[in-house]
Protein backbone atom coordinates (compact mmCIF):
# COMPACT_ATOMS: atom_id res chain seq x y z
CA UNK A 1 0.00 0.00 0.00
CA UNK A 2 2.79 2.40 0.99
CA UNK A 3 4.50 1.86 -2.35
CA UNK A 4 1.26 2.43 -4.26
CA UNK A 5 0.91 5.78 -2.50
CA UNK A 6 4.58 6.60 -3.20
CA UNK A 7 4.23 5.78 -6.89
CA UNK A 8 0.96 7.72 -7.06
CA UNK A 9 2.63 10.80 -5.56
CA UNK A 10 5.60 10.44 -7.92
CA UNK A 11 3.28 10.16 -10.93
CA UNK A 12 1.37 13.25 -9.86
CA UNK A 13 4.65 15.10 -9.35
CA UNK A 14 5.73 14.15 -12.88
CA UNK A 15 2.41 15.47 -14.22
CA UNK A 16 2.99 18.77 -12.43
CA UNK A 17 6.58 19.00 -13.70
CA UNK A 18 5.73 21.54 -16.46
CA UNK A 19 4.70 23.92 -13.64
CA UNK A 20 7.55 23.11 -11.24
CA UNK A 21 10.67 22.44 -13.30
CA UNK A 22 11.65 26.13 -13.21
CA UNK A 23 12.19 25.76 -9.47
CA UNK A 24 14.56 22.80 -9.88
CA UNK A 25 16.49 24.12 -12.85
CA UNK A 26 20.31 24.30 -12.70
CA UNK A 27 20.18 26.60 -15.75
CA UNK A 28 17.64 29.19 -14.56
CA UNK A 29 19.60 29.72 -11.34
CA UNK A 30 22.70 30.64 -13.43
CA UNK A 31 20.76 32.98 -15.74
CA UNK A 32 19.18 34.69 -12.71
CA UNK A 33 22.53 34.95 -10.91
CA UNK A 34 23.96 36.71 -13.99
CA UNK A 35 21.46 39.52 -13.25
CA UNK A 36 22.13 39.49 -9.50
CA UNK A 37 18.89 37.67 -8.71
CA UNK A 38 18.36 34.86 -6.22
CA UNK A 39 15.54 32.98 -7.93
CA UNK A 40 13.06 30.27 -6.97
CA UNK A 41 15.39 27.34 -7.64
CA UNK A 42 18.10 28.85 -5.41
CA UNK A 43 15.57 29.18 -2.59
CA UNK A 44 14.24 25.69 -3.24
CA UNK A 45 17.73 24.12 -3.13
CA UNK A 46 18.34 25.90 0.18
CA UNK A 47 15.02 24.56 1.46
CA UNK A 48 16.00 21.01 0.43
CA UNK A 49 19.24 21.29 2.41
CA UNK A 50 17.34 22.36 5.53
CA UNK A 51 14.56 19.81 5.02
CA UNK A 52 17.04 16.92 4.66
CA UNK A 53 18.36 17.68 8.15
CA UNK A 54 15.15 16.04 9.39
CA UNK A 55 13.61 14.38 6.34
CA UNK A 56 16.82 12.95 4.84
CA UNK A 57 16.17 12.23 1.13
CA UNK A 58 12.43 11.66 1.38
CA UNK A 59 12.04 14.28 -1.37
CA UNK A 60 14.00 12.06 -3.80
CA UNK A 61 12.09 8.91 -3.00
CA UNK A 62 8.61 10.34 -2.72
CA UNK A 63 8.33 13.65 -4.60
CA UNK A 64 11.01 14.21 -7.20
CA UNK A 65 9.57 14.32 -10.74
CA UNK A 66 13.01 13.38 -12.13
CA UNK A 67 12.93 10.28 -9.93
CA UNK A 68 9.44 9.46 -11.23
CA UNK A 69 10.64 9.64 -14.84
CA UNK A 70 13.62 7.41 -14.05
CA UNK A 71 11.47 4.83 -12.27
CA UNK A 72 9.42 4.64 -15.47
CA UNK A 73 12.63 4.10 -17.47
CA UNK A 74 13.57 1.29 -15.06
CA UNK A 75 10.72 -0.76 -16.55
CA UNK A 76 12.87 -0.95 -19.69
CA UNK A 77 16.33 -1.01 -18.10
CA UNK A 78 16.45 -2.43 -14.60
CA UNK A 79 20.24 -2.84 -14.51
CA UNK A 80 22.05 -1.82 -11.32
CA UNK A 81 23.88 1.52 -11.52
CA UNK A 82 25.93 2.24 -8.44
CA UNK A 83 29.62 2.53 -7.61
CA UNK A 84 32.34 4.90 -6.53
CA UNK A 85 32.96 6.88 -9.72
CA UNK A 86 29.31 6.59 -10.77
CA UNK A 87 28.31 8.33 -7.53
CA UNK A 88 31.25 10.75 -7.41
CA UNK A 89 30.64 12.46 -10.76
CA UNK A 90 27.61 14.37 -9.43
CA UNK A 91 29.77 16.07 -6.76
CA UNK A 92 32.30 17.28 -9.35
CA UNK A 93 29.53 18.69 -11.57
CA UNK A 94 27.80 20.20 -8.54
CA UNK A 95 30.98 21.85 -7.24
CA UNK A 96 31.78 23.70 -10.49
CA UNK A 97 28.14 24.60 -11.10
CA UNK A 98 27.71 26.02 -7.57
CA UNK A 99 31.04 27.85 -7.80
CA UNK A 100 29.79 29.56 -10.99
CA UNK A 101 26.50 30.55 -9.32
CA UNK A 102 28.27 31.99 -6.27
CA UNK A 103 30.77 33.81 -8.52
CA UNK A 104 27.90 35.39 -10.47
CA UNK A 105 26.11 36.40 -7.27
CA UNK A 106 29.26 38.04 -5.91
CA UNK A 107 30.03 39.77 -9.23
CA UNK A 108 26.49 41.05 -9.78
CA UNK A 109 25.51 42.08 -6.26
CA UNK A 110 23.75 43.61 -4.42
CA UNK A 111 21.39 40.69 -4.80
CA UNK A 112 17.63 40.86 -5.20
CA UNK A 113 15.29 37.98 -4.41
CA UNK A 114 12.66 37.12 -7.00
CA UNK A 115 11.05 33.70 -6.56
CA UNK A 116 9.40 33.79 -10.00
CA UNK A 117 12.32 35.22 -11.97
CA UNK A 118 12.22 33.89 -15.57
CA UNK A 119 9.12 31.82 -14.71
CA UNK A 120 6.99 31.39 -17.80
CA UNK A 121 4.16 29.20 -19.03
CA UNK A 122 4.57 30.12 -22.75
CA UNK A 123 4.23 27.33 -25.28
CA UNK A 124 8.01 27.30 -25.96
CA UNK A 125 8.48 26.29 -22.30
CA UNK A 126 6.58 23.12 -23.07
CA UNK A 127 9.19 22.30 -25.73
CA UNK A 128 12.00 22.84 -23.19
CA UNK A 129 10.07 20.69 -20.71
CA UNK A 130 9.80 17.86 -23.26
CA UNK A 131 13.54 18.07 -23.97
CA UNK A 132 14.33 17.90 -20.23
CA UNK A 133 12.01 14.92 -19.70
CA UNK A 134 13.48 13.12 -22.72
CA UNK A 135 17.06 13.71 -21.53
CA UNK A 136 16.28 12.34 -18.05
CA UNK A 137 14.49 9.33 -19.52
CA UNK A 138 17.21 8.53 -22.07
CA UNK A 139 19.99 8.93 -19.48
CA UNK A 140 18.26 6.47 -17.14
CA UNK A 141 17.69 4.09 -20.07
CA UNK A 142 21.37 4.24 -21.03
CA UNK A 143 22.72 3.85 -17.49
CA UNK A 144 20.36 1.88 -15.27
CA UNK A 145 18.22 2.26 -12.17
CA UNK A 146 18.05 5.97 -11.24
CA UNK A 147 21.35 6.57 -13.03
CA UNK A 148 20.81 10.31 -13.02
CA UNK A 149 20.30 10.40 -9.23
CA UNK A 150 23.65 8.64 -8.80
CA UNK A 151 25.75 10.43 -11.38
CA UNK A 152 24.26 13.78 -12.39
CA UNK A 153 21.75 15.15 -9.92
CA UNK A 154 22.63 18.68 -8.81
CA UNK A 155 20.05 18.57 -5.99
CA UNK A 156 21.29 15.39 -4.28
CA UNK A 157 24.51 16.96 -2.89
CA UNK A 158 22.46 19.63 -1.07
CA UNK A 159 20.49 16.90 0.69
CA UNK A 160 23.53 14.76 1.43
CA UNK A 161 25.20 17.81 3.02
CA UNK A 162 22.01 18.39 5.04
CA UNK A 163 22.12 14.79 6.28
CA UNK A 164 25.80 15.10 7.22
CA UNK A 165 25.14 18.37 9.09
CA UNK A 166 22.29 16.74 11.03
CA UNK A 167 24.49 13.78 11.97
CA UNK A 168 27.36 16.07 12.96
CA UNK A 169 25.03 18.13 15.17
CA UNK A 170 23.24 14.97 16.47
CA UNK A 171 19.92 16.22 15.12
CA UNK A 172 17.41 13.34 14.78
CA UNK A 173 16.50 12.65 11.17
CA UNK A 174 14.62 10.05 9.14
CA UNK A 175 16.68 6.85 8.82
CA UNK A 176 16.48 3.11 8.35
CA UNK A 177 17.23 0.57 11.07
CA UNK A 178 17.72 -3.17 10.83
CA UNK A 179 16.94 -6.08 13.10
CA UNK A 180 19.94 -7.93 11.73
CA UNK A 181 19.31 -11.19 13.59
CA UNK A 182 16.00 -11.77 11.77
CA UNK A 183 17.47 -11.52 8.25
CA UNK A 184 17.35 -14.75 6.20
CA UNK A 185 19.52 -13.30 3.38
CA UNK A 186 16.80 -13.79 0.78
CA UNK A 187 18.12 -10.81 -1.20
CA UNK A 188 14.71 -9.33 -2.02
CA UNK A 189 15.59 -5.94 -0.52
CA UNK A 190 18.69 -5.50 -2.69
CA UNK A 191 16.83 -6.59 -5.80
CA UNK A 192 14.00 -4.13 -5.15
CA UNK A 193 16.13 -1.11 -4.21
CA UNK A 194 15.66 1.56 -6.93
CA UNK A 195 19.12 2.95 -6.05
CA UNK A 196 20.88 -0.41 -6.62
CA UNK A 197 22.17 -0.50 -3.05
CA UNK A 198 23.46 -3.72 -1.52
CA UNK A 199 20.80 -3.64 1.18
CA UNK A 200 21.57 -7.20 2.31
CA UNK A 201 25.12 -6.13 3.13
CA UNK A 202 23.82 -2.97 4.83
CA UNK A 203 21.57 -5.14 7.01
CA UNK A 204 24.28 -7.72 7.78
CA UNK A 205 26.77 -5.05 8.84
CA UNK A 206 24.05 -2.96 10.48
CA UNK A 207 25.18 0.06 8.44
CA UNK A 208 21.84 1.34 7.23
CA UNK A 209 22.99 4.91 6.48
CA UNK A 210 23.93 5.44 2.87
CA UNK A 211 24.41 8.73 1.02
CA UNK A 212 22.60 7.17 -1.91
CA UNK A 213 19.54 5.97 0.03
CA UNK A 214 16.46 7.94 -1.02
CA UNK A 215 14.24 6.78 1.85
CA UNK A 216 11.75 5.17 -0.53
CA UNK A 217 11.14 2.24 1.86
CA UNK A 218 10.87 -0.32 -0.97
CA UNK A 219 13.29 -2.55 0.98
CA UNK A 220 11.25 -2.33 4.19
CA UNK A 221 8.04 -3.17 2.36
CA UNK A 222 9.39 -6.16 0.42
CA UNK A 223 11.15 -7.80 3.39
CA UNK A 224 9.28 -11.00 4.39
CA UNK A 225 10.71 -10.84 7.92
CA UNK A 226 10.10 -7.14 8.62
CA UNK A 227 13.80 -6.73 9.28
CA UNK A 228 14.00 -3.15 8.06
CA UNK A 229 12.37 -0.49 10.19
CA UNK A 230 12.39 3.27 9.85
CA UNK A 231 11.87 6.31 11.99
CA UNK A 232 13.39 9.56 13.18
CA UNK A 233 16.49 9.20 15.30
CA UNK A 234 19.91 10.74 15.84
CA UNK A 235 23.03 9.00 14.57
CA UNK A 236 24.40 6.52 17.07
CA UNK A 237 28.05 7.34 17.77
S1 LIG B 1 17.97 1.17 0.85
FE2 LIG B 1 15.74 0.92 0.98
S3 LIG B 1 14.95 2.97 1.42
FE4 LIG B 1 17.07 3.22 0.70
S5 LIG B 1 16.88 3.55 -1.53
FE6 LIG B 1 17.16 1.34 -1.23
S7 LIG B 1 15.08 0.49 -1.12
FE8 LIG B 1 14.91 2.72 -0.83
S1 LIG C 1 14.49 -8.80 2.34
FE2 LIG C 1 14.67 -8.90 4.58
S3 LIG C 1 15.15 -11.03 5.06
FE4 LIG C 1 15.54 -10.74 2.86
S5 LIG C 1 17.73 -10.19 2.76
FE6 LIG C 1 16.60 -8.26 2.87
S7 LIG C 1 16.53 -7.77 5.05
FE8 LIG C 1 17.10 -9.95 4.91
Give tens-digit pLDDT for 146-159. Answer: 999 999 999 999 99
* Residue from 219, 229, 230 whose mutation best tests the ligand 1 pocket (most atoms within 8 A of CB): 219
Task: Point out the domain boundary residue: 163, 197, 213.
Answer: 163
Q: Name the band, by pLDDT with cuts 50, 70 and 90, for residue 46.
A: very high
For the chain, the maximum distance between any two Cα atoms, rounded to a whole number of angstroms, is: 60
Domain range spanning residue 53? 2-163
Q: Are residues 39 and 129 in the same domain?
A: yes
Domain shared by 123 and 68, yes or no: yes
8 A C-beta contact, residue 124 and residue 132: no
- Answer yes or no: do 50 and 121 share one domain: yes
Are 24 and 124 within one domain?
yes
Query: What does DSSP assign to residue 190?
Result: H
- Domain boundary among the residues 115, 143, 163 is at 163
CATH of the domain at 180: 3.30.70.20
Answer yes or no: do 139 and 188 share one domain: no
Task: Map residue 158 onto helix, strand or coil.
Answer: helix
CB 153 within 8 A of CB 66: yes
The reported pLDDT for the residue numbered 128 is 84
Q: Determine the atom of ligand 2 nearest the C-alpha atom of 192.
A: 1
128, 180: one domain:
no
Mutation test residue for ligand 1: of 60, 146, 213, the one with most atoms within 8 Å of CB: 213
pLDDT of residue 124: 77
Whether residues 51 and 114 share a domain: the answer is yes
Q: Nearest residue CA, atom 8 of ligand 2?
A: 183
Provide the residue count of the chain: 237
Rounded to the nearest integer, the mean pLDDT of the chain is 94
Q: How far are the Cα atoms of 84, 94, 132, 187, 194 from residue 204, in angstroms, in the given order?
A: 21, 33, 39, 11, 19
Q: At CA 224, angle to CA 218 and CA 227, rounded to 5?
A: 75
Give the C-alpha separation, 104 to 140, whole Å. Answer: 31
Would you report the helix, strand and coil content of the chain in percent, each value rounded to 5? Answer: 60, 10, 30
DSSP labels, 106-134: HHTPSPEEETTTT----HHHHHHHHHHHH
CA of 171 to the centre of ligand 2 (A): 28
Answer for the pair 16, 87: CB distance below 8 angstroms, yes or no.
no
Q: Compute the distance from residue 195 Cα to the ligand 1 centre, in Å.
A: 7
Domain shared by 51 and 142, yes or no: yes
Same domain? For 17 and 131 the reply is: yes
- Concatenated DSSP letters of 50-70: HHHHHHTTHHHHHT-HHHHHH
Residues 8 and 124 placed together within one structural domain of the fold = yes
Q: Mind listing the pLDDT tens digit for each residue in 185-208? A: 999 999 999 999 999 999 999 999
d(CA 25, CA 121): 15
Cβ proximity of 200 and 189 under 8 Å = yes
Decide which of 163, 194, 218 is a domain's last residue: 163
Kindly state whether residues 10 and 116 are assigned to the same domain: yes
Nearest-atom number in ligand 1 for the CA of 199 is 1
Burial readout 46-62 (b: 16 or more C-beta within 10 A, e: otherwise): eebbebbbebbbbbbbb
Number of domains, the chain = 2
- The answer on 131 and 216 residing in a single domain is no
Looking at residues 170-191, what average pLDDT do you find?
96
Amino acid sequence: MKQKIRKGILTYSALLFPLTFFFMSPYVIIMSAAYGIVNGSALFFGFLLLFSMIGSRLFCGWLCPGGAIQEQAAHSNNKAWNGKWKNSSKYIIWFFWLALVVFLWISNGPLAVNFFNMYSLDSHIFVIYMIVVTLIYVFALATGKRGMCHSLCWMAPFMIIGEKCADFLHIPRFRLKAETENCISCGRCSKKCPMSLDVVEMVKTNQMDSNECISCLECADICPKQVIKFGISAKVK
